[in-house]
Amino acid sequence: MDPQSMGRGWPPLPLFLPFGGGGDTVKPAMDRMPVDGAAVPAGPPVEDPSTPFRLSQEARSLNRSLMRRLIAVTARPEIISFAGGLPAPELLPVEELSVCLARVLADDGPRALQYGPPLPALQEEIAAMMAGRGAGVSPEQVFITSGCQQGLQIAAHLLLDPDSAVVLDRFIFPGVRQAFGGWWRELREVPTDVTLGLDLEMLAAALTGPPRPRALVVVPAFHNPLGTTLAPAARQTVVELAGAAGVPIVEDDPYSGLQFAGPVPVPLVGLAPGQTLYLGSFSKLVAPALRLGWIIAPVALEEKLRVIKESFDLETSGLVQRAAAAFLRAGYLEPHLARVRVAYGQRLRCMTAALARHFPPGTRWSEPAGGMFLWVELPEGLDTLALLAPAIEAGVAYIPGAAFTGAGPTSAMRLNFSNATPESIETGVRILGGMLREQHSGATNRGG
């Protein structure tokens, strides 16, 4: 097959939803909203004589992801949200972090509030964590970031020119498209299977097709949005294909640690450290508000990673770095993760049981062994984008599959199972299922 054609040839995406802003001018119309910015072509520059602000091509083409926009909607307490990627609030380690912050300020005083280099104690703790995941790395290979999204941006700035090609999943977290897309870049999409993950045959074609891609982005564990995990053999194949093609791997791995059904296979960076940038994060493992993550990279790249990060935000908070190091050193992480794993496993089982009871016949879903996300494919003919507004009206939010692809509308949706309680999960799935069954039988009747 011709890899150039992958991800093309789909019908055009309905670009606008009935809520939210976006748009090409400095006065965005608040009644329309692009689903995925990277897929929206830039309009012509709009010259508004009432303002000197002329927007860059990037600013005109970049639009807020539906997912981020839904965070505000779903913060409303009357909404049952399966939309965001939010940890269970009841399990956030408030007490432990409070103790760590107080201790760090008492012990380190002004040093904890000052500018400073990356914290060696944290680099060491993260290297030890990585060893536990099967990747032996030195503390010098640990580069501190302000979270995984910043890791994606740093990787993109490190590796991509304005016209580079990037290989990535057809369905992927929109932040990946925001960071790696834009300019004249080619986002070369590889199909994914709901149970196996990346289609390895298509991956081989995408990696070798001209022009040579400058990066392969992989989410091997508890994929967002699919929930899939690449098996050990598939991981070996991915690194071999990428190595043979001379394409560096960007391994986005914010969910490892959240496994509830057996161990996570060794990460790609453990299999091929010389060809992988690994991105980790404490957002899902400890707390989003830490805004703390890391990159594992060959030491030779540290200097360039550092200057790119400096140009973004100078450095990551030394106070937060110290608090996280104290949290890890105190041994708070493992008991916390143990609680989280049990809870998330229960919530997923609750959700799939409810799906089986309430969703239309013919619905399929992935089988996550960890993480936060379940991918649900509805029977053909149900457009999850069109159904979102009535669903929110009915009190339940999810993310339509179209938010994760530049390729076209889908009958799929992403359901988060970490944030809502088991009771709310049952209620929310029941409400959604009732709505979908009604739509489905309506569609079938009209069709028949």
Whichever of 303 and 393 has its CB closer to a second copy, that residue is 303
Which of 288, 379, 381, 395 touches a second copy (CB under 8 A)?
288
User: Between 270 and 433, whose beta carbon lies closer to a second copy?
Assistant: 270
Retrieve residue 212's tokens.
């040579």
CB of 439 to a second copy, least distance (A): 31
In the bound state with a second copy, the residue whose beta carbon lies nearer, of 8 and 212, is 212
State which residue, 175 or 191, has the beta carbon closest to a second copy: 175
Q: What separation in angstroms does the CA of 44 have from each of 54, 61, 186, 339, 374?
A: 11, 10, 20, 52, 39
Cβ neighbourhood burial of 312 (10 Å; 0-12, 13-18, 19+):
middle
**Residue 115 found at the interface with a second copy (CB under 8 A):** yes
CB of residue 430 to a second copy, shortest distance in Å: 26
- Residue 71 Cβ, how far from a second copy at the closest point, in Å? 6
CB of 139 to a second copy, least distance (A): 16
Please report, as residue ranges, which positions from 304 to 323 form the binding site for a second copy (by CB under 8 A): 304, 306-308, 310-320
Q: What is the 3-state secondary structure (H, E, C) of the chain?
A: CCHHHCCCCCCCCCCEECCECCCCCCCCCCECEECCHHHCCCCCCCCCCCCCCCCCHHHHHCCCCHHHHHHHHHCCCCCEECCCCCCCHHHCCHHHHHHHHHHHHHHHHHHHCCCCCCCHHHHHHHHHHHHHCCCCCCHHHEEEECCHHHHHHHHHHHHCCCCCEEEEECCCCHHHHHHHCCCCCEEEEECEECCCEECHHHHHHHHHCCCCCCEEEECCCCCCCCCCCCCHHHHHHHHHHHHHHCCCEEEECCCCCCECCCCCCCCHHHHCHHHEEEEEECCCCCCHHHCCEEEECCHHHHHHHHHHHHHHHCCCCHHHHHHHHHHHHCCCHHHHHHHHHHHHHHHHHHHHHHHHHHCCCCCEECCCCECCEEEEECCCCCCHHHHHHHHHHCCEECEEHHHHCCCCCCCEEEEECCCCCHHHHHHHHHHHHHHHHHHHHHHHHHHC
Stretch that binds a second copy, among 195-203, 297-305, 335-343, 425-433 (CB under 8 A): 297-305
Amino acid in the structure at residue 192: T
- Least CB distance from residue 396 to a second copy, whole Å? 19
**Member of 22, 257, 400, 433 binding a second copy (CB under 8 A):** 22
User: Which residues, numbered 139-158, are part of the site for a second copy (CB under 8 A)?
Assistant: 146-147, 149-150, 153, 157-158
Q: Answer yes or no: are the C-beta atoms of 258 and 285 closer than 8 Å.
A: yes
Give the one residue of 78, 303, 361, 445 binding a second copy; rule: CB under 8 A: 303
- Could you tell me whether strands 249-252 and 215-218 are parallel, antiparallel, or unpaired per DSSP bridges? parallel
Instruction: State which of positions 172-231 bind a second copy (CB under 8 A).
Output: 175, 178-179, 183, 214
**If binding means CB under 8 A, how many residues of this protein chain bind a second copy?**
98
Give the residue with the Cβ less far from a second copy, 99 or 443: 99
Residues 318-347 that bind a second copy (CB under 8 A): 318-320
Interface map 240-279 toward a second copy (x if CB under 8 A):
--xx--xxx-------------------------xx----
Report, in Å, the least distance between residue 155 CB and a second copy. 10
C-alpha 424/C-alpha 284 separation (Å) is 21
Q: Least distance from C-beta 164 to a second copy, angstroms?
A: 8
Would you say 242 or 397 has its CB closer to a second copy?
242
Q: Which is nearer to a second copy, 62 or 221 (CB)?
A: 62
**Using the rule CB under 8 A, which residue among 46, 289, 342, 356 binds a second copy?**
289
Instruction: Report the residue number, 2 or 115, with the smaller CB distance to a second copy.
Output: 115
CA distance 27 to 17: 18
The residue among 387 and 420 lying less far from a second copy, judged by its C-beta, is 420
Please identify which residue in 15, 196, 301, 386 interacts with a second copy, judged by CB under 8 A: 301
Closest approach, Cβ 239 to a second copy, in A, equals 11
Give least dist CB 292 to a second copy, A: 9
Footprint of a second copy on 46-105 (CB under 8 A): 50-59, 62-65, 68, 71-72, 75, 84-87, 89-90, 92-94, 97-98, 101-102, 105
Q: Which is nearer to a second copy, 153 or 228 (CB)?
A: 153
